[in-house]
Amino acid sequence: MQTIIIRFTICLVYYILGAYATTDILRLLKGSTLSINNPDCYCPICNNKIKLKDQLPIFAYIKNHGACHYCKSKIPFGDLFLEIFLFLLMTLITILLHFNWWAYFVCFIAYEVTKLLFLFIYGPRETEFAKNLLRSLGNNMVLFTLLAVLFLLAQLA
Ligand SMILES: [Zn+2]
Protein backbone atom coordinates (compact mmCIF):
# COMPACT_ATOMS: atom_id res chain seq x y z
CA MET A 1 0.00 0.00 0.00
CA GLN A 2 2.80 2.37 1.02
CA THR A 3 4.61 1.66 -2.25
CA ILE A 4 1.51 2.46 -4.30
CA ILE A 5 1.03 5.80 -2.54
CA ILE A 6 4.68 6.81 -3.10
CA ARG A 7 4.56 5.76 -6.78
CA PHE A 8 1.31 7.60 -7.29
CA THR A 9 2.83 10.72 -5.70
CA ILE A 10 5.82 10.52 -8.06
CA CYS A 11 3.45 10.45 -11.06
CA LEU A 12 1.52 13.36 -9.56
CA VAL A 13 4.79 15.32 -9.38
CA TYR A 14 5.32 14.59 -13.10
CA TYR A 15 1.84 15.94 -13.82
CA ILE A 16 2.78 19.16 -12.00
CA LEU A 17 6.22 19.24 -13.64
CA GLY A 18 4.56 18.99 -17.05
CA ALA A 19 2.47 22.05 -16.26
CA TYR A 20 5.45 23.83 -14.75
CA ALA A 21 7.36 23.20 -17.99
CA THR A 22 4.95 25.40 -19.94
CA THR A 23 6.16 28.28 -17.76
CA ASP A 24 9.75 27.19 -17.32
CA ILE A 25 10.45 26.28 -20.95
CA LEU A 26 8.13 28.65 -22.84
CA ARG A 27 9.42 31.71 -20.96
CA LEU A 28 12.92 31.01 -22.28
CA LEU A 29 11.75 31.17 -25.87
CA LYS A 30 11.74 33.97 -28.42
CA GLY A 31 9.17 36.70 -27.76
CA SER A 32 8.95 36.07 -24.02
CA THR A 33 9.63 38.94 -21.60
CA LEU A 34 8.31 37.57 -18.28
CA SER A 35 10.82 36.47 -15.68
CA ILE A 36 11.05 32.74 -15.01
CA ASN A 37 10.46 33.51 -11.34
CA ASN A 38 7.26 35.52 -11.86
CA PRO A 39 4.69 33.25 -10.13
CA ASP A 40 1.73 34.56 -12.13
CA CYS A 41 0.68 33.44 -15.59
CA TYR A 42 -0.80 35.85 -18.09
CA CYS A 43 -2.65 35.46 -21.34
CA PRO A 44 -0.15 36.52 -24.04
CA ILE A 45 -2.96 38.20 -26.03
CA CYS A 46 -5.09 40.15 -23.49
CA ASN A 47 -2.55 40.16 -20.61
CA ASN A 48 -5.20 39.11 -18.09
CA LYS A 49 -3.85 37.15 -15.15
CA ILE A 50 -4.84 33.50 -15.45
CA LYS A 51 -6.58 32.18 -12.33
CA LEU A 52 -5.06 29.18 -10.58
CA LYS A 53 -8.12 27.04 -11.37
CA ASP A 54 -7.59 27.80 -15.06
CA GLN A 55 -3.98 26.62 -14.78
CA LEU A 56 -4.85 23.07 -13.80
CA PRO A 57 -2.94 21.08 -16.39
CA ILE A 58 -4.86 19.37 -19.19
CA PHE A 59 -8.27 19.69 -17.42
CA ALA A 60 -8.33 23.49 -17.59
CA TYR A 61 -7.49 23.31 -21.28
CA ILE A 62 -10.47 21.02 -21.89
CA LYS A 63 -12.82 23.01 -19.60
CA ASN A 64 -12.05 26.29 -21.39
CA HIS A 65 -12.11 24.65 -24.83
CA GLY A 66 -8.45 25.50 -25.37
CA ALA A 67 -9.12 29.23 -25.16
CA CYS A 68 -8.37 32.11 -22.77
CA HIS A 69 -11.16 32.56 -20.20
CA TYR A 70 -11.26 36.33 -20.87
CA CYS A 71 -10.55 37.08 -24.52
CA LYS A 72 -11.32 33.61 -25.90
CA SER A 73 -8.16 33.60 -27.99
CA LYS A 74 -6.83 30.13 -28.63
CA ILE A 75 -4.13 28.78 -26.34
CA PRO A 76 -1.40 27.36 -28.60
CA PHE A 77 -1.74 23.60 -28.93
CA GLY A 78 2.00 23.39 -28.22
CA ASP A 79 1.32 24.36 -24.57
CA LEU A 80 -0.98 21.40 -24.07
CA PHE A 81 1.31 19.12 -26.03
CA LEU A 82 4.28 20.02 -23.84
CA GLU A 83 2.27 19.32 -20.65
CA ILE A 84 1.04 15.94 -21.82
CA PHE A 85 4.30 14.98 -23.51
CA LEU A 86 6.51 15.49 -20.45
CA PHE A 87 3.97 13.96 -18.06
CA LEU A 88 3.59 10.81 -20.17
CA LEU A 89 7.29 10.56 -21.06
CA MET A 90 8.51 10.77 -17.45
CA THR A 91 5.76 8.46 -16.17
CA LEU A 92 6.55 5.89 -18.85
CA ILE A 93 10.32 6.01 -18.22
CA THR A 94 9.77 5.61 -14.47
CA ILE A 95 7.36 2.68 -14.79
CA LEU A 96 9.60 0.89 -17.31
CA LEU A 97 12.61 1.36 -15.02
CA HIS A 98 10.64 0.26 -11.92
CA PHE A 99 10.93 3.55 -10.03
CA ASN A 100 14.67 3.10 -9.45
CA TRP A 101 17.42 5.75 -9.52
CA TRP A 102 18.03 5.26 -13.23
CA ALA A 103 14.47 6.38 -13.83
CA TYR A 104 15.14 9.49 -11.80
CA PHE A 105 18.27 10.44 -13.74
CA VAL A 106 16.79 9.62 -17.16
CA CYS A 107 13.76 11.81 -16.32
CA PHE A 108 15.98 14.71 -15.33
CA ILE A 109 17.92 14.39 -18.59
CA ALA A 110 14.68 14.01 -20.59
CA TYR A 111 13.34 17.23 -19.07
CA GLU A 112 16.48 19.23 -19.85
CA VAL A 113 16.79 17.76 -23.36
CA THR A 114 13.16 18.79 -24.04
CA LYS A 115 14.10 22.32 -22.96
CA LEU A 116 17.12 22.31 -25.29
CA LEU A 117 15.00 21.03 -28.19
CA PHE A 118 12.43 23.81 -27.71
CA LEU A 119 15.25 26.38 -27.56
CA PHE A 120 16.72 24.91 -30.73
CA ILE A 121 13.39 24.94 -32.59
CA TYR A 122 11.94 28.28 -31.41
CA GLY A 123 15.09 30.21 -30.50
CA PRO A 124 16.01 31.86 -27.21
CA ARG A 125 14.28 35.00 -25.84
CA GLU A 126 15.80 38.33 -26.86
CA THR A 127 16.20 39.83 -23.38
CA GLU A 128 17.91 38.48 -20.26
CA PHE A 129 18.22 34.99 -21.68
CA ALA A 130 21.30 33.94 -19.68
CA LYS A 131 19.84 35.23 -16.41
CA ASN A 132 16.56 33.37 -16.91
CA LEU A 133 18.31 30.21 -18.06
CA LEU A 134 20.28 30.17 -14.80
CA ARG A 135 17.08 30.78 -12.79
CA SER A 136 15.42 27.96 -14.72
CA LEU A 137 18.26 25.52 -14.00
CA GLY A 138 18.27 26.55 -10.33
CA ASN A 139 14.51 25.94 -10.03
CA ASN A 140 14.83 22.59 -11.81
CA MET A 141 17.49 21.50 -9.34
CA VAL A 142 15.30 22.41 -6.37
CA LEU A 143 12.31 20.57 -7.85
CA PHE A 144 14.32 17.47 -8.75
CA THR A 145 15.94 17.44 -5.30
CA LEU A 146 12.45 17.28 -3.81
CA LEU A 147 11.62 14.49 -6.26
CA ALA A 148 14.77 12.65 -5.09
CA VAL A 149 13.22 12.45 -1.62
CA LEU A 150 10.25 10.57 -3.11
CA PHE A 151 12.56 8.23 -5.02
CA LEU A 152 14.48 7.57 -1.82
CA LEU A 153 11.19 6.68 -0.10
CA ALA A 154 10.30 4.44 -3.05
CA GLN A 155 13.59 2.52 -2.56
CA LEU A 156 12.95 2.11 1.15
CA ALA A 157 9.31 1.07 0.81
ZN1 LIG B 1 -6.70 36.35 -23.14
Dump pLDDT digits (tens) for 88-123. 999 999 999 999 999 999 999 999 999 999 999 999
- Does residue 64 contact residue 43 with C-beta atoms inside 8 Å? no
Contact 86, 17 (CB under 8 A): yes
| CA 42 to ligand 1 center in whole angstroms | 8
Percentage, residues of the chain above pLDDT 70: 100
How far is the centre of ligand 1, averaged over its atoms, from the C-alpha of 10 (Å)?
32
Mean pLDDT of the chain: 92
pLDDT of residue 55: 83
- Supply the DSSP symbol for 70: T
Q: Is the confidence at residue 22, as pLDDT, over 90? A: no
For 98, residues 6+ apart whose C-beta sits below 8 A from its C-beta are none
| Cα of 47 from ligand 1 centre, angstroms | 6
CA distance 36 to 40: 10
What's the 86 CA to ligand 1 centre distance in angstroms? 25
CB proximity list for 26: less than 8 A, separation 6 or greater: 32, 79, 82, 118
Residue 41 has pLDDT above 90, yes or no: no
Per-residue pLDDT, 60: 87
Contact of 125 with 28, CB cutoff 8 Å: yes
Q: Tell me, in angstroms, the distance from the centre of ligand 1 to residue 69's CA.
A: 7
d(CA 52, ligand 1 centre) in Å:
15
pLDDT at 59: 84
Indicate the SS3 state at residue 42: strand
Burial class of 92 by CB neighbour count within 10 A (0 to 12, 13 to 18, 19+) = middle
Distance 132 CA to ligand 1 centre (A): 24
CA of 78 to the centre of ligand 1 (A): 16
Mean pLDDT of 26-43: 89
Task: Examine the pLDDT at 47 and tell me if it is beyond 90.
Answer: no
pLDDT at 28 over 90: yes
Q: What residues contact 143, with CB distance under 8 A and at least 6 apart?
A: 17, 20
Q: Tell me, what's the pLDDT at 130?
A: 96
Secondary structure class of 59 (helix, strand, coil): helix
Question: Who surrounds ion ligand 1 at CB < 5 A?
Answer: 43, 45-46, 68, 70-71
Residue 25 has a pLDDT of 94
